Chains A and B, each alone.
Chain A
Amino acid sequence: MANYIVNSNRLDGLKRGDVITEKDLEGANIEHLLESGHISTQQVKKSGKTKDTDEKE
């Protein structure tokens, strides 16, 4: 299920910065909320560091 970040203070019961799912927007036209800037999709940040999982001999 996609996560969204709230970008405005106009979404009822939510505030800017909240991370929500489709369940929190039940009945709303999510595509339009994205287009109008009220929410945006949450980007998953990839860590710049790599971890060596190979066992050292």
Chain B
Amino acid sequence: MATTVYLSNPALTINSVNLTDQATEATLTFEYDQLETTAFGDTARKFGAATVTSLQNNTFEVTLFQSYEGSETEATIYGLVGITTNIVVSPTAAGLVTPTATSPKYTLAGCYLASHTPISASLGELSQITLVFAGGTLTKVTS
């Protein structure tokens, strides 16, 4: 039985700009490249070693409501295409300011935004955009 129940309500900043109230989905994937170390004599495939020897290969995917108002989604995102930026995300809004063990703060530094869809419109629906930030170094802070 679960001892805690977590209702998704993360907070995030993109290039220090808080777009939490425009976000509807956020997925941070922490990954190291899986390098094979299997050698002759092994009886099963092996990957990696006792210590990290491969590169981080992180991604952050976020869905935002589109807004063309000043200081909103489009103004914040458009100029980030093709360059690196920093993402900060936490399970709670408080975690962005004062991270704790139960509300850690994750910083993805130097991640790259390859593409953006300035127009993403469907009849009768609120316009949303999905962004994928790739690469960068992920750090986790709990205090």
Contacts and interface: CB of A to CB of B under 8 A. Distances in A.
Interface residues of A, number: 17
B88 interface: yes
B97 A13 contact: yes
A13 B76 CA distance: 17
B88 A12 contact: yes
Contact of A37 (B71, B85, B88, B109): B71
Interface in B65-80: 70-71, 75-76, 78-80
Given A27-B109, A28-B16, A29-B15, A38 B76 contact: yes
A9 B83 CA distance: 24
A51 interface: no
Given A10-B71, A12-B96, A27-B109, A32 B13 contact: no
Interface of A: 7-13, 25, 27-29, 32-33, 35-38
Given A8-B70, A33-B15, 8 more contacts: A9-B71, A10-B17, A10-B76, A12-B13, A12-B18, A29-B15, A29-B83, A37-B70
